[in-house]
Amino acid sequence: MARNTRRTHNHRHHSHRIERPAAVIIGMMGAGKTRIGKESAHMLGLPFADADHVIEHRIHMSIPDYFAEHGEPAFREVERDIVCSYLKHFRGIFALGGGAPMTPAIQDALKEYKQHGGKVVYLMAHPEEAMERANRGGGRPMLHGDANARWRKLFVERDPTYTKLANVIVRTHSMSPIRAAERMIDVINERIVHVTGEGIEDYDVQIGEGALAQLPHVLGSGPVRVALIHTTSVRRHSDHARTLLRQAGYDVLDIVIPDAEMGKTIEVANGIWERLGNEGFTRSDAIVGIGGGACTDLAGFVAATWMRGVHYVNCPTSLLAMVDASTGGKTGINTPQGKNLVGSFYTPAGVLADLQTLTTLPNDIFIEGLGEVVKSGYIGDPEILNILRDHAEELRNFDGASFLGSDLEPVVAELIERTVRVKARHVSADLREAGLREFLNYGHTFGHAIEQLEHFRWRHGNAVAVGMVYAAELSRLTGFVDTAFVDDMIELLESLGLPTTWHHRSFDDVLAVMHRDKKARGNTLRFVVVDEIGHATRLVDPPADAVEDAFRFVQD
């Protein structure tokens, strides 16, 4: 019960911000929408509403009697009005009748609800179980005649719509109502960031315990073969993903790549292309990347280039990958001349940030990911910086073994969500980094130089942390910020355990690498700087002495 109590507190902490349901349950007759919805609402201390019961109260008669007297079209109009109202003015768990999602106006309302972070849960029971419950319950005008045959026919008609509308699926096969309600609670406590924009196929970033279970749903029924690309260091999580995929009926091609940046090379990509060719991978098959940022970068690059683009899903297992590499559609590999110089803009079908994968993350790898979190606070969400300051000690002492169920878990979940939202805003407005998206590179021009000159022995988040100090000092030297701004940044980074200095003998080496940065134009250097917390701007062709003085500032 302690687990559920904690979750109740977390939900109430956020519920005052919204006027929308915590979750909307859809599914076939007999799926258990009412019983499981009531149970999960009770566990969470939330109200529960069943659309059919609300309708009967409104029309002052049973639904079968209303069907008989007024017909289905009249019923659907009443249902439409009530459902659309509850989607905007009800804070609990809301279960819809089986036919409600087939109404176009309700479909549009559910899509809008999802865009605000709502969870549309497709509750799937085993067909035999659902039919037995539906028959036992009675009072279902849509099942007149041969009830089982009618149920199967309706399932064939409705399942594609349910699947398309839902952003999460809960399968209750052989589950007790209590266990199914607990799984529902896991789903309700997930955070979903909807990414959309011009030139982007909409997708969701799902953040929470057990999010990986949604992998078959995100992949969909189209692919037959799935290439599971992962590193040896995440074998526990790749084993889980492989099991989920095989249980869902996919043929799984297991592809293991080197850890970290050593896996982001043309040689590794070429080896994967060869395997895909030998296995007969077609355009309708799919790629799944599970691992850190380097792995998801490579998986996306392979997906973007194989047959000019195949379906892919990112399953990040590190904090850095969850907040940065897995979201936004930038894929790429490294070359001897620089990092990510070869790549493509190609968005995933979805991102599943399962907090359970952080339990195996070493402390130093977790802290590295905080570098990108800090960056997002400075360029787009000052509240991130407040959360980091308030919880610096707990974050610095992160221990994966005790993470789940701790007070730190909701803090990390909120930091991931906020950071992803910052990235989503920039990506939605500028997929191909022609304008606003460039601000996501705050700290990266100098940070990438560190990585390159250290032959990738420095981790990305650590390099970005020093890169932000460099950019802050450069902006102070050019009049954008004062000394207090730089000092406060250094204090925050150090409180989190992130580096703020780096030693390299040759400024000329650093300058040469920065000139090869993607933001450079010809011989003109371009930097992203922050002129006030939460707002970034460009610094084009700064004075040469300021560029060098900032380099001297970060030398240890």
DSSP structural state of residue 525:
-
pLDDT of residue 544: 94
DSSP structural state of residue 542:
-
What per-residue string of b and e applies to 449-487 under the rule 16 or more CB within 10 Å gives b?
A: bbbbbeebebbbbbbbbbbbbbbbbbbbbbebbeeebbe
DSSP secondary structure, 236-266, as one string: HHHHHHHHHHHHTT-EEEEEEE-SGGGGSSH
Q: How confident is the model at residue 136 (pLDDT cuts 50, 70, 90)?
A: low
Q: Which amino acid is at 159?
A: D
- Catalytic: 330? yes
Task: Judge whether 1 is annotated as a binding position.
Answer: no
Q: How confident is the model at residue 521 (pLDDT cuts 50, 70, 90)?
A: low
Task: Judge whether 173 is annotated as a binding position.
Answer: no
pLDDT of residue 80: 95
Q: How confident is the model at residue 102 (pLDDT cuts 50, 70, 90)?
A: very high
Of residues 421, 460, 476, 519, which has the active-site annotation? 460
Pairing of strands 350-354, 203-208: parallel
Q: How confident is the model at residue 434 (pLDDT cuts 50, 70, 90)?
A: low
- Catalytic: 152? no
**Mean pLDDT over residues 9-26, rounded?**
64
**Mean pLDDT over residues 371-388, rounded?**
96
Task: Judge whether 259 is annotated as a binding position.
Answer: yes
- Catalytic: 372? yes
Q: How confident is the model at residue 531 (pLDDT cuts 50, 70, 90)?
A: very high
Residue 13 has pLDDT above 50, yes or no: no
pLDDT of residue 116: 84
- Catalytic: 455? no
Task: Judge whether 339 is annotated as a binding position.
Answer: yes
Higher-confidence position of 360 and 8: 360
d(CA 452, CA 145): 71
442-554 and 191-423 share a CATH fold: no
In the CATH hierarchy, which top-level class contains the domain 191-423? alpha beta
Of residues 7, 114, 437, 526, which has the active-site annotation? 437
Question: DSSP alpha helices (H): ranges in 306-407?
Answer: 319-320, 363-379, 382-390, 392-396
Of residues 39, 368, 372, 473, which has the active-site annotation? 372
Of residues 190, 433, 438, 473, which has the active-site annotation? 433
Residue 411 has pLDDT above 90, yes or no: yes
Task: Judge whether 197 is annotated as a binding position.
Answer: no
Residue 387 has pLDDT above 90, yes or no: yes
d(CA 293, CA 365): 11
Of residues 191, 230, 330, 459, which has the active-site annotation? 330
Q: Which amino acid is at 390?
A: D
pLDDT of residue 5: 35
CA distance to 10, 13, 220, 373, 391, per residue, from 5 (Å): 9, 13, 34, 28, 22
DSSP secondary structure, 440-469, as one string: GGTTHHHHHHHHHHTTT-S-HHHHHHHHHH
Of 64-73, 383-392, 491-500, 527-536, the poorest mean pLDDT is in: 64-73
Task: Judge whether 35 is annotated as a binding position.
Answer: yes
Cα Rg of the chain (Å, integer): 25
Residue 14 has pLDDT above 50, yes or no: no
Q: What is the pLDDT of residues 493-506, one digit of tens each?
A: 999 999 999 998 89
Non-local (6+) Cβ contacts of 533 within 8 A are 377, 378, 382, 385, 485
Phi, psi of 209 (to 5 degrees): -65, 130
Other Cβ atoms within 10 Å of 121 Cβ, number: 26
Residue 310 has pLDDT above 50, yes or no: yes
d(CA 73, CA 79): 10
Of residues 308, 455, 521, 552, which has the active-site annotation? 308
| Confidence (pTM) | 0.83
pLDDT of residue 455: 87
When the pLDDT of each residue in the chain is averaged and rounded to a whole number, the result is 88
Most confident of 93-107, 143-157, 420-434: 93-107
- Catalytic: 240? no
Of residues 311, 423, 426, 459, which has the active-site annotation? 423
pLDDT of residue 194: 85
Of 13-27, 76-90, 95-109, 268-282, the poorest mean pLDDT is in: 13-27
Residue 8 has pLDDT above 50, yes or no: no
pLDDT of residue 335: 80
pLDDT of residue 519: 61
Spans of all domains in the chain? 21-136+147-189, 191-423, 442-554
**Mean pLDDT over residues 543-550, rounded?**
95
Task: Judge whether 260 is annotated as a binding position.
Answer: yes
Task: Judge whether 487 is annotated as a binding position.
Answer: no
Please give, one letter per residue, the 3-state secondary structure of 298-335.
HHHHHHHHHHHCCEEEEEECCHHHHHHHCCCCEEEEEE
Please give, one letter per residue, the 3-state secondary structure of 478-513.
CCCCCHHHHHHHHHHHHHCCCCCCCCCCCHHHHHHH
d(CA 361, CA 198): 35
Non-local (6+) Cβ contacts of 16 within 8 A are none
pLDDT of residue 293: 84
Q: How confident is the model at residue 435 (pLDDT cuts 50, 70, 90)?
A: low
Could you tell me the fold of the domain covering 442-554?
Dehydroquinate synthase-like, alpha domain (1.20.1090)
**Mean pLDDT over residues 121-147, rounded?**
71
- Catalytic: 444? yes
Of residues 448, 459, 476, 519, which has the active-site annotation? 448
pLDDT of residue 3: 39
Task: Judge whether 501 is annotated as a binding position.
Answer: no
pLDDT of residue 431: 53
Residue 286 has pLDDT above 90, yes or no: yes
Q: How confident is the model at residue 339 (pLDDT cuts 50, 70, 90)?
A: confident
Residue 32, Ramachandran bin (φ over 0: left; ψ between -120 and 50: alpha; else beta): left
Of residues 167, 334, 340, 441, which has the active-site annotation? 441
pLDDT of residue 430: 55
Q: What is the pLDDT of residues 449-478, one digit of tens each?
A: 999 899 888 999 999 999 999 999 999 999
Q: What is the pLDDT of residues 224-251, one digit of tens each?
A: 899 999 998 899 999 999 999 999 899 9
With tokens 């399962």, the residue in question is 354
Task: Judge whether 457 is annotated as a binding position.
Answer: no
CA distance to 113, 256, 287, 365, 398, per residue, from 333 (Å): 37, 16, 16, 21, 30
Could you tell me the fold of the domain covering 21-136+147-189?
Rossmann fold (3.40.50)
Phi, psi of 344 (to 5 degrees): -150, 150
Q: How confident is the model at residue 7 (pLDDT cuts 50, 70, 90)?
A: very low
Task: Judge whether 293 is annotated as a binding position.
Answer: yes
pLDDT of residue 160: 92
